[in-house]
Amino acid sequence: MADSPTGFNYAGGAGLWRLYYNTPERKEIEIRAADCKPVVSQEADTVRIDYNGLDGKAFDLHLKVWAEGGQVRFGAELLNNEPHTIIRELQYPLIGKLQLPQGYKLLTTHTGGQIFDDPVAKIANVDTRALYMTPAQKFRQYDLQYPRSAAANCFAFVGAGDGLYFGSHDTSLQQTWHGLRVYPSGEIAGHACNDEKQTEQDDRHSRLDRESAIGHVTSDFTELEAGFYRYPNAMCGDRWANDCSVVVPYKGEWTETCRIYRRWADTWWQHGPVPQWVQDMTGWQRIIFKHQYGEYLRTYRDLPGRIAAAGESVGCNAVLAFGWWKEGMDNGYPNYTVDDAQGGDAAWKQAIADYRSMGNRLLLYYNGRLIDVESDFYRRGGGSRVANKDNTGREFTEHYKFTGEGTTLGYYDSRTFVIADMSKREWRDQLLRWADRAMDYGADAVFYDQLGVAEEFPNWDLSREYPVQDIFTGRYKAEALQEIRDHIKAANPEFALGTEWLSDCTSQFCDFVHIVEFTALPESFPEWFRYTFPEVVWSDRCVRDDNDVPRRVGNTLLKGLRNDIEVFRCRGLIDETPVYQAYLAQVNAIRHEFPELLLEGRYTAIDGFSCSNRAITARSYTADGSIAVVAANTSDRRESALIDAPGYTLSAVRCIGDATAKAKRIELGQNGIAVLVFTK
């Protein structure tokens, strides 16, 4: 990589791969590149690295590295001819002892995007509570999987004008680990050189663990490694291959990583048109009508009543309705029994009709994957037919513990669920029936919780010598959502589909997405996904009270996110949080004034304008003939800047909070926001 466009040599000369296999006696045996002798050959721009008989076993590994279109590409082929073994994991390609220029940051796609100023410090100081379960004396690892915590299958190290991009351009959508590790100095191979050194290392790591426990920062882990981990699960007689990893040294801003990924994604991504009412939706009130333990928090008649009024007060005309069925939230799945105590289906339909007659939209909730073990479906054998099984053949379970005001519910009396296998026809038919039911109720959209990502608890195949986990659950969920989308759009193109969790492979089939984690943390960088996939409408999360409202709600305007209004964890309404209510009303008033830009426009992040002060964060939206620039100041100092959009004329300025503007010159106090609209 010394000949990269950046003119910088990132590679440190460490091993290019690691492999792990099982025997009947031992579950994980490591083979390292440094311990094996390859045969290396080159033809044109392709280097081949061949290993035969790895570790004295009948394992063959054939690697190739080649240049293509400014990218460095990596391919691997495995052959296992060793009886009673399974090659579980191949970590390749790895760039060990990774050297980064000063100031490079780690950019991940976690929750749509996160960025960390010091990559080594971030990885070295992962949550120490989990390290009890890991060989933390050997390395520290930042856990990131696609398509789960990572919303796209790439990460990067970004500088001010260049960087290093890692992409898994794999249309199989198999579960892939983004390998981010740091090792102690001189320990990239993961092993000490002799017993004396090992004793010194053990002493040092004991000290580090003690220091971490009392809040000190680990500094001895300094050697960075990055790459991808895949799961061949190759038993005797199996052949496995993958050639989808790319590494790209690039010139430009962080947006260049978006362009690299999107150019590849355009070969398979197929997002359809989103109904205009979804584009114009500023967000939704997320309301639990009846909770898990039987308490009615809201009734059907509240929907066109106080709920509608609360939404109108902040410019929000949609409700994401949870717990509308008899059993209550996170209870009874997949029954969704008619709630006769409130008047049954007739009363629910009437409440929806009355709410919609006021110009509002109703998004109807179902859980897409959980099956209550006390439900009729499970007791009649549904669990055995469609539930995911672990590596022993037993059903995986999850436990949901919502509390009332006592302690019994939250600590002892939980609901137990098994997890549906999304590849099963029987379960997909269930999902389709729910969409029909939502349309019959007169709703505007159907929402399936927890279908946006690969399964945390995948099904295991026990039919061969070793159990094997299913690594394609993200693809199954994408296929299920595509089938639902096609079904509902054939009936009504204006009817919308939504899910929870953000991932490129599933969001392509959705009209809106409910994010699963915080989007306003110091490291949050949702503009990565917004810029890469501007078609996707998705939300913020975790604004639940009057705490830190201007910064967090301002962040949604700055980053182009819809507002998930979940007051008191969906148990309250926004009229109970006056600070949140007043501030969101101001934000949405500006959105409604310029919907063609701030709601329907393309999110273009840092393109099309200039800002004279880097202390101010500014992001852009564009539409035909217009550009809007949202500028925010999250520091505790007053800042001023000149905002300009070459080729455009300033036509309007709107301010929120401690903010003033004189033409293109803005001055912002802490959490002040200015919106500048330019036209051709």
Separation CA 571–CA 380 (nearest Å): 33
Question: Could you tell me which of 391, 445, 31, 528 has the C-alpha nearest to residue 274?
Answer: 445
Claim to verify: residue 455 and residue 553 sit in the same structural domain: yes
pLDDT band at 199 (very low <50, low <70, confident <90, very high): very low
Separation CA 454–CA 668 (nearest Å): 42
Q: Is residue 10 part of a domain?
A: no
Claim to verify: residue 341 and residue 454 sit in the same structural domain: yes
pLDDT band at 219 (very low <50, low <70, confident <90, very high): low
Q: Structural domain of residue 649, as residue ranges?
A: 602-679
Q: What is the pLDDT, as a whole number, of residue 109?
A: 98
Q: Is residue 8 part of a domain?
A: no
Residue 163 bridge partners (DSSP): 158, 250
Q: What is the pLDDT, as a whole number, of residue 87?
A: 98
Q: What is the pLDDT, as a whole number, of residue 130?
A: 74
Q: Is residue 392 part of a domain?
A: no
Tell me: the pLDDT tens digits for 424-438? 999 999 999 999 999
Separation CA 342–CA 23 (nearest Å): 59
Separation CA 232–CA 132 (nearest Å): 28
pLDDT band at 207 (very low <50, low <70, confident <90, very high): very low
Q: Does residue 374 carry a pLDDT above 60?
A: yes
Claim to verify: residue 163 and residue 302 sit in the same structural domain: no
Structural tokens at position 380: 């009649």
Instruction: From 593, 624, 644, give the residue that closes a domain.
Output: 593
Separation CA 99–CA 96 (nearest Å): 9
| End-to-end CA gap in the chain | 43
pTM of structure: 0.94
Q: What is the pLDDT, as a whole number, of residue 205?
A: 47
Q: What is the pLDDT, as a whole number, of residue 455?
A: 95
Claim to verify: residue 219 and residue 283 sit in the same structural domain: no
Claim to verify: residue 207 and residue 261 sit in the same structural domain: yes
- Give me the percent of the chain exceeding a pLDDT of 90: 88
Q: Does residue 84 carry a pLDDT above 70?
A: yes
Question: Could you tell me which of 526, 651, 607 has the C-alpha nearest to residue 115?
Answer: 526
Claim to verify: residue 130 and residue 69 sit in the same structural domain: yes
Instruction: From 265, 298, 313, give the residue that closes a domain.
Output: 265
Domain count, the chain: 3
Structural tokens at position 209: 């663990």
Separation CA 670–CA 228 (nearest Å): 40
Average pLDDT over residues 346-366: 98
Instruction: From 265, 300, 319, give the residue that closes a domain.
Output: 265
Claim to verify: residue 89 and residue 179 sit in the same structural domain: yes
Average pLDDT over residues 618-640: 96
Average pLDDT over residues 199-203: 48
Separation CA 322–CA 566 (nearest Å): 11
pLDDT band at 82 (very low <50, low <70, confident <90, very high): very high
Q: Does residue 192 carry a pLDDT above 70?
A: no
Residue 140 bridge partners (DSSP): 182
Average pLDDT over residues 231-244: 98
What is the Cβ-side half-sphere exposure of residue 508, based on CA atoms within 13 angstroms?
A: 22
Separation CA 511–CA 498 (nearest Å): 6
**Domain of 250: which CATH number?**
2.70.98
**Domain of 341: which CATH number?**
3.20.20.80
Least confident stretch, 131-135, 169-173, 326-330, 439-443: 131-135
Q: Which residue has the tokens 């991009």?
A: 165
Structural tokens at position 152: 């796209």
Separation CA 293–CA 285 (nearest Å): 22
Q: Does residue 217 carry a pLDDT above 80?
A: no
Claim to verify: residue 455 and residue 571 sit in the same structural domain: yes
Element (H, E) at 480: helix 473-491
How confident is the prediction for the chain on average, in pLDDT?
Answer: 93
Bigger pLDDT: 537 vs 407: 537
DSSP state of 400: E
Q: What is the pLDDT, as a whole number, of residue 218?
A: 53
Sequence-distant (≥ 6) Cβ neighbours of residue 110 within 8 angstroms: 144, 149, 150, 151
Q: Does residue 96 carry a pLDDT above 80?
A: yes
Claim to verify: residue 606 and residue 589 sit in the same structural domain: no
**Domain of 661: which CATH number?**
2.60.40.1180
Claim to verify: residue 328 and residue 250 sit in the same structural domain: no
Claim to verify: residue 52 and residue 86 sit in the same structural domain: yes
Claim to verify: residue 172 and residue 297 sit in the same structural domain: no
Q: Does residue 658 carry a pLDDT above 80?
A: yes
Q: What is the pLDDT, as a whole number, of residue 185?
A: 86
Q: What is the pLDDT, as a whole number, of residue 11?
A: 87
Tell me: the pLDDT tens digits for 39-54? 999 999 999 999 999 9
Average pLDDT over residues 175-180: 98
